[in-house]
A and B are shown apart, each in its own frame.
Chain A
Amino acid sequence: MEPIAYTAANGWLGTFWLLPAIPLASAAVLLLLGKRADRWGHWLGVLSVATSFVLGLTYFFTLRGLENRSGVELKLWDYIGVGDFKVDLGLLFDPLSAMFVLLITGVGSLIHLYAVGYMDHDPGRRKFFGYFNLFVAAMLLLVLGNNYVMLYFGWEGVGLASYLLISFWYLKPSAATAGKKAFLMNRVGDAGFAIAIFMMFAYLGTVDYAEVFNGVHKLSSGVVLVMALLLLLGAAGKSGQFPLQAWLPDAMEGPTPVSALIHAATMVTAGVYLIARSHPIFDANSTAQTVVVAVGALTLLMGCIIGAAKDDIKRVLAWSTVSQIGYMFLGVGLGGAAYALALIHLLAHGFFKAGMFLGAGSVMHGMHDQVDIRRFGGLWKYMKITWVTFGLGWLAIIGFPGLSGFFSKEPIIVAAFEREGWTAWLFGGAALLGAGLTAFYMTRLFWLTFHGPERWTDDIRHPHESPKIMTIPLILLALGSVGAGYLLSTSVPEWLTPVYGSEHTEHEPVMSHTVITILSLVMTFAGAGLAIALFNKGTALAEQPAGPLVVAARKNLYTDSFNEAVFEAPGRYLTRALVYIDNRGIDGLVNGLAAGVGGGSGRLRRAQTGFVRSYALSILGGAVLVVAAMLAVTFG
């Protein structure tokens, strides 16, 4: 492979540090000024992200105009430098990060705008925008760093913002718990990620992207495998993939714009970014790639199954996110041309899932914050814009021909079938089955919400459409869901050539492309048709008894119970036991020893009544005297 080399940023591109700096400055203003910024703070928040978007566009076009667009680097200052360990506060703007910049700031601007309306009545709106801006800044740092420590820096930064926003309504115990859970599960992944960085330094003496990637071929396959799996652990934590998926659905405790921006469109795709960015490491070890594919395939099915059994509109969408990111992991695990496919799906998903989350927020807005899809129904008459835009998102995600999901998900299914041997059938089959299940649960969600009989709670008379400031972002995101697929599927692979190369060895899929497409369309229509048939007449208002699979799905396939039984409960007992031992055992033992030295425990007790104090005083007095005497001798 040709060595990777980035050029120094100059000219207009020399200012791309502004991208994270502007939202960071805005966050600082909003959080430091306090109440003084309450009246206008939200507009500053929107403006800062929109400015970054416009700047991002200019940098994008500047990069596109360059002859060598492999990427430009910018070193801001020495961050850490001890011995051979040198880390710059350095940034990289290359085709991959440029794509993420546009997604983060573009979709981010729309969601910020929407949040102005959504958070209108919340007394903490200014603080909300402060945190929201902080998130955008950290996310931009994450994708713009030129070394793994910067990536880790941004990675933890988005984790902080995510925590703050999940537990935004922190007086609600469930929100506080959900925030903590997210942070802790992420930290498990982060620990793995950190160890991977330690390995890079220990084996390659560097943490810079270019030097790490160029040195991978020198490493033994065992080292590469461990490094890749540790990176995967980090990625799984951030992206809600098995086995670290449990925090993501709980994260829906946060305000809906947060769910849309952080827990659907951007932050949770950081794991995909990490793997896509580290592609030379994963490409160097096929076992690692297979594990990534397996994690993706398993998670995408889990997400579908659990999503089909949930009744909370945001939780269904959350499990759908888990599942769709599973598709992306599947894609980046396949490697080669599939990197671009996964990233296309990531972008398309950013549009349609953000749109649907905001649509869900719009529904809740009109329905007194109701989230139970069993208590919706027939809403299409009352909120037409929400209905149409959500509908387009729905068609996009299930892969309806012509919409973006069709162009982004279907090629991943085909790519899975291009693997060699039985794994083609296993992973291709999982992806295909997922397509059918996705169509089922998304149609169930859509139909129960907008169609069928009205099953509202008694306090709701007239559901209303949301104000323009909320519907305009909905419309724009829906346009993206419709159009982006085709545009992206043709332009992204070309745009990413400097990163992934243009030469990919083509395997023939085990079935012909046409057969796979037909099969996936059949699955999709069957899933959607079944859901419409089942739920056209509405559904029961309370949970019904069900078979073992549905019960298991309602309980998240027992993954939470597993964590509770294997990690949390033993952890609690261990902590209690250690506190007990520390108070009795160790303290007692060492106290006893100390007392022995001091001449029996009786004296220790007596000592407390004044003996030691006089002793201490005499030491002080003696020391002062000695020092004074010596000084007198010296200077006298």
Chain B
Amino acid sequence: MSSFPYLTVLTVAPLVGAAGIAFLPKDKPELAKRAAFGWSLLILALTVGLWLQFKPTGERFQFRESYTWIPQWGAKFTFAVDGIALVMIALIALLVPLVVLASWHDADKSKRSVPAYFALLLALEATMIGVFAAQDVFLFYVFFEVMLVPMYFLIGSYGGHQKQYAAVKFFLYSLVGGLFMLAAVVGLWVLGGHTFDWPTLLSADFGVNAERWLFLGFFLAFAIKAPFFPFHTWLPDAGGAAQAGSAALLVGVMDKVGTFGILRYCLPLFPNASKHFAWLGLTLALVGIVYGALVAIGQQDLKRLVSYTSIAHFGFIGIGIFAFTTQAGTGAVLYMVNHGLATGLLFLVVGMLVSRRGSALVSDFGGAGKLVPVLAGVFFIAGLASLALPGTSPFVSEFLVLIGTFTVNKTVAVIATAGIILAAGYVLWMIQRTTQGTTNPKLLEIKAMSRDLSLREAAVVTPLIALILVLGFYPKPVIDVINPAIKATMSDMHVTDPKATAGTVEAGK
């Protein structure tokens, strides 16, 4: 293994970039944009190096670095990644440059500083990479909280309609969740032998009741972050108010900290409590699948609609996590990646439509495919990925989640499968109301609506579409990275996949 401190550099470098860009003069927005884009590409290149040096068959955690931080508490700067963290960091490094490119003009109309917008994006990248790379529980908690700050400003200062309300709501919800987690982190430290070191805590025994309380503390924070039903209502507000680029990062990556946290912290550290409360996780997730989809169908605002579809998708990730099989678990992590690609694309494309039209209301569109056929086509492809059509990468993850869940819990799997019908409903109806049918006469009056996909926009969507298709046909490279980490998590929990049970089990649906 290389001795290059990848994880520290990956966490610090975006912050350095952010600091540099923040001090650029306000009247040189173009310079700030180019610098941010170039810097984020450098981070991406570095991440590619990280990916190539990661050995899927090697140790569970790789690239471990540890530095003294607060010796009195035993808190350290410890970074290390397993396959799950690695794919999430890769997703971040990939999305940020695309978001920078997609957000090129988003801050121009704002009264605030343009360089600051791009500095915030890089600062967000730093905190998100940090949260996935941390192997010290206290460090994770700090990143978990600090991550809110750049996103708060991205929504509250640069967002659209009701941005202040949405930003505060987002902040308060997360903060409340964070408080519960803080309590649990403190409890973990007290009961776990005065350490925040994840590998050490893994072997700690907390006793039945304490374990359950600790589980609930973490779970609540993560359920709000993910978000699971019924803690989801901040997401449509935030997703609706944020600029499309920030929304793509918020929903595409940041929310995954919630599901990642459950996988990294709840399951391995509190295996018995996780099994005890599995019904709770499954129920919330299942309700989310059906509820999110139904409410999405009824939305009038495109960005809110996409936010609700994500609540349904998080439901799939949730049942994948709480099914406790390798198929469902690997599917859930793969789902986190694929959802980042697909919903990231969907948000960015919606942003392109909204910025042309000057409105996110579905009823302000209609027949737009006639004016912007290529953009409408990209919108459709993003929709197909969102409904998990085979050939797009989300299919593989959804299928893995469902089949893995079915082997242990048929009822949950069957109800979740009904979600694939609803998904087709919200996607196709959204497509129909915006791009198909009689062209809305108002669209003809708007000059911007006659401009199809620009070169810059094409550069944003092409890599995402290419990845969605390539991983749709050949997901093996990513699965092979995720799978060992899930296997290790399952063995932490002392669960194994059920064997196929031909003939001995009666029909059960």
Contact = CB atoms under 8 A, between A and B. Distances in A.
B402 interface: yes
Given A80-B396, A80-B400, A202-B407, A616 B327 contact: no
A4 interface: no
A119 to B, nearest CB: 17
B146 A194 contact: no
B430 to A, nearest CB: 11
B390 A156 contact: yes
Contacts of B367: 171
B452 to A, nearest CB: 10
Nearest to A150: B390
Nearest to B71: A633
B142 A220 contact: no
A31 to B, nearest CB: 8
A171 B503 contact: no
12 contacts: A78-B476, A153-B391, A156-B390, A173-B436, A179-B428, A191-B417, A195-B417, A202-B407, A586-B230, A620-B149, A623-B142, A633-B68
A226 B505 contact: no
A194 B476 contact: no
B80 interface: no
Interface string A141-182: 000000001001100110010010001001111001101100
Nearest to A189: B421
Interface in A299-349: none
Interface in B403-444: 403-404, 406-407, 410, 413-414, 417-418, 420-421, 424-425, 428-429, 432, 435-439
Given A156-B390, A574-B294, A586-B230, A594 B406 contact: no
A607 interface: yes
B70 A630 contact: yes
A444 B370 CA distance: 40
A198 B406 contact: yes
B97 to A, nearest CB: 23
B421 A188 contact: yes
Main secondary structure of the interface of A (DSSP, over half): helix
A195 B406 contact: yes
Given A167-B436, A191-B418, 8 more contacts: A83-B327, A173-B436, A202-B498, A203-B501, A219-B503, A226-B509, A608-B165, A612-B167
Main secondary structure of the interface of B (DSSP, over half): helix
Interface stretch (B24-32, B202-210, B247-255, B295-303): B295-303
A198 B506 CA distance: 15
Q: Chain B, interface size: which category?
A: 35 or more
Contact of A184 (B428, B473, B505): B428
Nearest to B229: A586
B502 interface: yes
Interface string B313-334: 0000000000001110011000
A85 B404 contact: yes
Given A223-B506, A225-B507, A608 B168 contact: yes
Contacts of A191: 417-418, 420-421
B164 A201 contact: no
Contacts of B198: none
A183 B502 contact: no
Contact of A171 (B149, B399, B436, B509): B436
Nearest to B8: A631
B171 interface: yes
Contact of B437 (A171, A589, A591, A634): A171
Given A184-B424, A218-B502, A578-B295, A157 B390 contact: yes
A187 B424 contact: yes
Interface string B150-177: 1011001000000011011101110010
Contact of B474 (A77, A176, A574, A575): A77
A153 B390 contact: yes
A589 B233 CA distance: 10
A176 B503 contact: no
A89 B476 CA distance: 11
B464 to A, nearest CB: 16
Interface residues of A, number: 81
Contacts of B168: 604, 607-608, 612
Contacts of B172: 594, 598, 604, 607, 612
B421 A187 contact: yes
A140 B475 CA distance: 22
A220 B503 contact: yes
B201 interface: no
Contacts of B230: 586, 589-590
B437 A176 contact: yes
Given A201-B500, A218-B502, A616 B149 contact: yes
Nearest to A205: B500
Interface in B232-272: 233
A576 B77 CA distance: 49
A587 interface: yes
A282 B367 CA distance: 46
Interface string B364-378: 000101100010000
B402 A198 contact: yes
A479 interface: no
Interface in A479-503: none
A551 interface: no
Interface in A525-582: 574-576, 578-579, 582
A634 B67 contact: yes
A634 B68 contact: yes
B431 to A, nearest CB: 8
Interface string A592-618: 001001100000100111001100110
B279 interface: no
A222 interface: yes
B476 A170 contact: no
Contact of A82 (B156, B173, B327, B410): B327
A376 B491 CA distance: 73
B108 interface: no
Contacts of A172: 437
Contacts of B403: 85, 197-198, 201-202
B437 to A, nearest CB: 4
Nearest to B291: A578
Interface in B474-503: 474-476, 479, 483, 497-503
B152 A616 contact: yes
A626 B167 CA distance: 25
A437 to B, nearest CB: 33
Given A184-B428, A608-B168, A612-B171, A194 B507 contact: no
A199 interface: yes
B399 A149 contact: yes
Nearest to A580: B298
By CB atoms of chain A within 10 A, which of B67, B331, B390 has the most? B390
Contact of A616 (B77, B153, B176, B428): B153
The 7 A-B residue pairs with the shortest CB-CB distance, nearest first, are A205-B500, A222-B507, A198-B406, A176-B436, A579-B298, A587-B233, A218-B502
Nearest to B376: A170
Contacts of A205: 499-500, 502
Contacts of A149: 399
B389 interface: yes
Contacts of B505: 203, 220, 223
Contacts of A78: 476
Nearest to A85: B327
Contacts of B424: 183-184, 187
B145 interface: yes
B473 to A, nearest CB: 7
A84 interface: yes
B68 A89 contact: no
A453 B119 CA distance: 79
A205 B428 CA distance: 34
Interface string B278-313: 000000000000010011011100000000000000
Nearest to B127: A623
B61 interface: no
By CB atoms of chain B within 10 A, which of A152, A195, A589 has the most? A195
A33 interface: no
